Structure 1
Amino acid sequence: MPHSEDPSGRLTAPGAPFEVEGGVYVSGPRTLREFVEATWAFGEQPFLVADSGTYTYGEFFAAASALAGRLVEVHGLRPGDRAVIGMRNHPEWQIAFWAAQLAGLVAVPLNAWWTEEEFTYALDDCTPRVLLVDGERLPRTGAWASRQRVPVIVFHHDGPAGEGVERYEDLPAPDPGVAPPDVQVRPEDDATIIYTSGTTGRPKGAVATQLAQAGAAMNPRYTAAASALGRGVLPGQGRAPVSLMTFPFFHVAAFTTVYSVMAVGGTLVLMRKWDAEQALALIGRHGVTHYSGVPTTALQLLAAAERSGAHLESLTHLNTGGAAAPPDLVARLTARFGERVEPRNGYGLTETSGGVTANFGAGYRRFPDSVGRPTPATEVRIAGPSGEVLPEGEVGELWLRGQSLVRGYWRDEDATRQAFTPDGWFRTGDLATVRDGRVSIVDRIKDMVVRGGENVYCVEVEAALHDHPDVVDAAVLGVPHPVLGEEVAAVVLLGPDAAVTADELRAHVGRTLAAFKVPAHVVVRDEPLPRNPTGKILKRELRGPLVERVRSGG
């Protein structure tokens, strides 16, 4: 079900920059090594800006090439070996990742928030030949590396290195004239293993080939070009973007931002941890043009700007991803800044290697509950229970197929068969509709509440709750009912001076939604709702206590 944001074909026609043939971008790179080698030409332009220092593109490429050479020549790694990356958003995270690509290795970015037990699970699963970690992650990974006799290169570590551990800061300074190692990297080779967020169980390692990741690098470039055309601007004109990076580098939402910035010689401004006031200061100090983050941090940024009266003069784009954006986000942005700051959201998963749909500009303002249209190298299908294609406007499971999709799950054939059809369609597990080519996500299939035979889409009820001025955050889920099977319940976090009651919130929802969708139970929570590092609410942590409270009549 392809539907282009480029109806005239200026971007996708034969010979155009984003022409697709056989599901693959014709003129795009075929490997990540090919993609990153082109960035060397940006030379002295700043690439990575952090409290710890700044790397130009030239310095970055020299450092990545030197580390790649060490991995190959000193540690004896060969194409196909796995290299784990575990650190916070230091600039050296990018050096480690791209060193792995230049060496032909399979990069395995791990969640920096994981405990030692969670790291051990993933390390046992992917069996890396080297660990590239920061000092904070060394205590959680060092014991495994010692047991398995796997070398470790540690970054930003002031303590003793220990046996089998090299301090990155002690390595020889990179030689700008040294080329990357001479290894063959093919499009069909594996490029990354990225573990799913694990919101419903043990994480699985999603394996993307070089060609898939190269497609993922092209997708945001197409979105940027289509956005420019929509504003009446020639793509590629104007200053390179300066993007405030708030996504953790290990998450695919970050990859979408990184790829789009690197492709045009832009700058990534990094934060050690999220803080809305600091974000305002960084935007002003560095002339940030693009904000990228989960909807929660975007809303906090807007609230901080309102409190301080900041006009964010340099900001031209506000991009959200990683979790569903409440429809009122774009309204708040427009009310504050008019049409000067372009809103953008989209849809992507670990299994799609980042964003594969995009909603932006006037289209986003008109359809704020949509995630937009797919990129040229992405196909969309709305499937019924037996896999049949459903008519436009009907709710069904979102299936995707395209260049950037992973080939399957690492050493898990059963999970791969369950998720992928024989002809390459990926079953997302998300309920969606398509109208005029625009995709709208309705809910997760497993999170949908079936109340007395009626489907209640949690995201719709959450949006209604978010619409109340006293509600800061909300999660809707199903709790057991002896007659109805399930009934709707909500957990909400209120603002500091809020006085609204649970009954008043139920009445608020009832003004816009059918009675069967109104939560039978509304629980007010005093602390933030539990979320994973990329902003998704961990409903499994809410469900048990909520069910017990309902059973006890609380």
Structure 2
Amino acid sequence: MTRHSLAGSGIAPVYRDDPRLAPLVGPGGPFEVDDVEIHGVPLRDFVRGPRTVNDIFLMGAAHQALIHTVYQGERQTFAQTRLQARAVAAQLRLVHGVRPGDRVGIAMRNLPEYVTSFWGALLVGAIVTPLNAWWTAPELDYALRDAAVSVLFADEERLRRVRAAGRPDGLTLVGVRSDLGDVPFAELTAAEPIDDDSVARLDRDDPVTLLFTSGTTGRPKGAVSTNRAMTANIWNMAFANLREGVVAGRAPRENRQPATLSTGPMFHIGGVTTIISSPLGGAKIVMMRRWDVEEALRLAAAEQVTALGGVPAVARQILEHPRTPSLAEHVRGFSIGGAAVPPDLVARAVEVLGPDVQVFNGYGLTETTSAVVTNVGVEFQAHPDCVGRPNLTADVRVLGADGEPLQTGGTGEVCFRSPQVARGYWNDEAATATSFQDGWFRSGDVGFLDDEGFLHVVDRRKDVVIRGGENVYCTEVEAVLHEHPGVAEVTVVGLDEPMLGERVCAVVVPRPGATPGIEELRAFAADRLAVFKCPEALYVIAELPKTATGKVAKNDVRALITDDTDRIVRAW
């Protein structure tokens, strides 16, 4: 890493020139930034704040007596979580031979053991590899082999899938609430723990997570994020919230333990961020076995949850429930993200939870280690039709069709440069070279920057359906459906639907004499694809619209089904 002068490049005037923010971003402030060069890429990074994720773990010692995780009546303090994580680290290091840089996987539903095993792996310097808990056996098997995972923490359902696929050689299975593993989780947590001085001391740019994102070629790609990326993400989020309070003139509220109702899966970057950031302020994580709005509101009241929200479908269920206004006394933040946010939800959140609630939206990807653009509070209310402004350490540019940067207002591919950008894709040099260029990550999304610096995302270049916050790449689904004996041609598009944002719709040209139905196609795909990827709608057509070069004209297909909704067969 080389420090150099970039003549104040990139920092938006809205941050740099606002005198109210000087105590935060000025010299000596907690969010002061400096120009740095990482692997030849000029960036801005925070001068202060935690340097590594393990530094954040150590901060949890200040909250020993506070409840850290809540799950179905089980309550665990920070002291208990810290002790168990250090015991897991000891066993990983001494018994299972895990060394810095080795991959340790996690495949389970949201459980307290998720938090403990995550930290246990980080404490020995492993690259934590969370796997999608909805994946089928072949999908899990591919990721385990691709990442060369040496130890996998998994619950019973995931253990059955891994064993059914024929587990990779050399993989140790740690059974969580199951006797199907090679070693029970309780055996690891009962061991003698390492002490804080024995925690792995990694560099800022060493990798710490490998998160798989669905791939356009039918195989998921693993995005590798570093200590720098993770800590920059957390510090940017903290600044966004504090800045909004200053801009809005919010009076400080009673100091109390933050508590989050975890409505999304922990294998997502949002769940990972929740785990890693919680020791900073002693946050309580309230978990659910499965999403249920009645249970969610009961827990939110009982645990005095301060942070609510989720993907738009979940957020809407919360805001439309008659009991939600009673939570306004405790709820301070309401986040909406993971998919395009309907503008009406922003005003609805303020209406239901009161004017002091801070509504939050972040735009980013797994490859950008969560949000690199944020829209918070009063600015979100004033600009609900965009995703916000770039973070303090993020640069954004929009590229035209010729690859040249566009001026303000020009619509093109949105690209990011930030310390949060991942190092690239695991074991995939070609995909890395395509998406990570000269320090910039090409998002595949289409948008423009307005004259106030707000980013508007208007379309996606990648052929992807976002269903309830999960990315479904159309080519992956198409590849499976093409093998159905009754399908001559098929294309997959997103069908707009208010609950989940989009549903997966298969547009099928049947073979002569064949009449494949939606349930038949879903059953056929279920053996190969996670359930959220399986088609939920079917439109049968005699011929697919094509371009002059013979490719399927996806825009024409979308327009066709939008204008002819009566012929769509739905599975819900």
Normalised by the length of structure 2, the TM-score is 0.76
- Residue in structure 1 matching 2:87, options 66, 71, 74: 66
**What do residues 427-448 of structure 1 show as CA deviations (whole Å, max 9, x unaligned)?**
0001111121111211112459
Specify the code of the residue in structure 2 equivalent to 1:546: Y
Which deviates further from its counterpart, 10-19 or 334-343? 334-343
Q: What is residue 541 of structure 2 aligned with on the other side?
A: 548
CA distance in 2, matches of 1:114, 1:538: 9
Residues 94 and 172 of structure 1: CA distance in aligned 2, closer, same or farther (over 3 Å): closer
Alignment of 1:156-171 (within 5 A): 156-157=177-178, 159=179, 161=181, 165-171=182-188
Specify the code of the residue in structure 1 equivalent to 2:230: Q
- Residue in structure 2 matching 1:324, options 340, 346, 369: 340
CA distance in 2, matches of 1:325, 1:30: 33
Residues 238 and 549 of structure 1: CA distance in aligned 2, closer, same or farther (over 3 Å): farther
CA distance in 2, matches of 1:494, 1:25: 39
Q: Report how many residues are paired.
A: 477
CA distance in 1, matches of 2:426, 2:332: 39
Q: How much does 1:20 deviate?
A: 1.5
CA distance in 2, matches of 1:374, 1:136: 40
CA distance in 2, matches of 1:494, 1:347: 20
SS of the equivalent of 1:397 reads strand
Q: What is residue 216 of structure 1 aligned with on the other side?
A: 233
CA distance in 2, matches of 1:548, 1:60: 56
- Residue in structure 2 matching 1:33, options 54, 60, 65: 54
**What do residues 363-408 of structure 1 show as CA deviations (whole Å, max 9, x unaligned)?**
1111001111122111111111222221112211111011111010
Q: What is residue 108 of structure 1 aligned with on the other side?
A: 129
Percentage of pairs with the same residue:
36
- Residue in structure 2 matching 1:20, options 11, 33, 40: 33
Q: What is residue 344 of structure 1 aligned with on the other side?
A: 360
CA distance in 1, matches of 2:66, 2:327: 27
SS of the equivalent of 1:97 reads helix
CA distance in 1, matches of 2:277, 2:102: 27
Residues 215 and 234 of structure 1: CA distance in aligned 2, closer, same or farther (over 3 Å): farther
Residues 68 and 43 of structure 1: CA distance in aligned 2, closer, same or farther (over 3 Å): same
**What do residues 187-230 of structure 1 show as CA deviations (whole Å, max 9, x unaligned)?**
22211110013477321000112222222222212122212223
Q: How much does 1:539 deviate?
A: 8.9
Which deviates further from its counterpart, 401-410 or 3-12? 3-12
CA distance in 2, matches of 1:388, 1:340: 43
CA distance in 2, matches of 1:258, 1:369: 30
Contact (CA 8 Å) 1:107, 1:192: kept in 2 or not?
yes
Q: What is residue 480 of structure 1 aligned with on the other side?
A: none
Contact (CA 8 Å) 1:65, 1:180: kept in 2 or not?
no
Q: How much does 1:166 deviate?
A: 0.6
CA distance in 2, matches of 1:310, 1:416: 48
Alignment of 1:11-410 (within 5 A): 11-21=24-34, 22=36, 23-51=44-72, 53-142=74-163, 146-157=167-178, 159=179, 161=181, 165-171=182-188, 173=190, 178-179=195-196, 181-198=198-215, 201-233=218-250, 238-305=255-322, 310=326, 312-410=328-426
**What do residues 210-264 of structure 1 show as CA deviations (whole Å, max 9, x unaligned)?**
2222222222121222122234358897223211111111101223344444321
**What do residues 160-192 of structure 1 show as CA deviations (whole Å, max 9, x unaligned)?**
54xxx1111244536678436454422222111
Contact (CA 8 Å) 1:69, 1:181: kept in 2 or not?
no
**What do residues 62-82 of structure 1 show as CA deviations (whole Å, max 9, x unaligned)?**
111110111001111111111
Query: Unmatched 5+ residue regions in structure 2?
Result: 1-9, 37-43, 475-492, 500-517, 523-530, 545-559, 568-572
Contact (CA 8 Å) 2:144, 2:168: kept in 1 or not?
no
Residues 177 and 4 of structure 1: CA distance in aligned 2, closer, same or farther (over 3 Å): farther
Contact (CA 8 Å) 2:56, 2:276: kept in 1 or not?
no
Residues 49 and 382 of structure 1: CA distance in aligned 2, closer, same or farther (over 3 Å): same
Q: How much does 1:349 deviate?
A: 0.4
Specify the code of the residue in structure 2 equivalent to 1:416: T
CA distance in 2, matches of 1:490, 1:206: 25
CA distance in 1, matches of 2:247, 2:277: 18
Contact (CA 8 Å) 2:53, 2:227: kept in 1 or not?
yes
Contact (CA 8 Å) 2:155, 2:177: kept in 1 or not?
yes
Residues 245 and 182 of structure 1: CA distance in aligned 2, closer, same or farther (over 3 Å): closer
Q: How much does 1:542 deviate?
A: 6.5
Which deviates further from its counterpart, 401-410 or 256-265? 256-265
- Residue in structure 2 matching 1:416, options 429, 432, 441: 432
Contact (CA 8 Å) 1:4, 1:373: kept in 2 or not?
no
Specify the code of the residue in structure 1 equivalent to 2:31: F
Q: How much does 1:266 deviate?
A: 1.6
CA distance in 2, matches of 1:259, 1:4: 30
CA distance in 1, matches of 2:81, 2:170: 29
Residues 445 and 177 of structure 1: CA distance in aligned 2, closer, same or farther (over 3 Å): closer
Residues 334 and 188 of structure 1: CA distance in aligned 2, closer, same or farther (over 3 Å): closer
Contact (CA 8 Å) 1:135, 1:156: kept in 2 or not?
yes
Residues 254 and 490 of structure 1: CA distance in aligned 2, closer, same or farther (over 3 Å): closer
CA distance in 2, matches of 1:172, 1:260: 22
**What do residues 407-427 of structure 1 show as CA deviations (whole Å, max 9, x unaligned)?**
100011110010011x20110
**What do residues 264-319 of structure 1 show as CA deviations (whole Å, max 9, x unaligned)?**
1121111111111111111111111111311110101112236x875543222110
CA distance in 1, matches of 2:139, 2:299: 33
Contact (CA 8 Å) 2:224, 2:423: kept in 1 or not?
yes
Alignment of 1:491-510 (within 5 A): 491=495, 493=497
Residues 249 and 432 of structure 1: CA distance in aligned 2, closer, same or farther (over 3 Å): same
Q: How much does 1:52 deviate?
A: 5.4
**What do residues 106-155 of structure 1 show as CA deviations (whole Å, max 9, x unaligned)?**
11000011111100110110011111112221111235675503212111
When the two chains are superposed, the root-mean-square deviation of aligned CA atoms in Å is 3.3
Residues 16 and 290 of structure 1: CA distance in aligned 2, closer, same or farther (over 3 Å): same
Residues 295 and 180 of structure 1: CA distance in aligned 2, closer, same or farther (over 3 Å): farther
CA distance in 2, matches of 1:418, 1:369: 30
Which deviates further from its counterpart, 5-14 or 213-222? 5-14
CA distance in 1, matches of 2:242, 2:343: 24
CA distance in 1, matches of 2:87, 2:166: 23
SS of the equivalent of 1:305 reads coil
Alignment of 1:442-457 (within 5 A): 442-446=458-462
CA distance in 1, matches of 2:14, 2:539: 43
Contact (CA 8 Å) 1:62, 1:178: kept in 2 or not?
no
SS of the equivalent of 2:140 reads helix
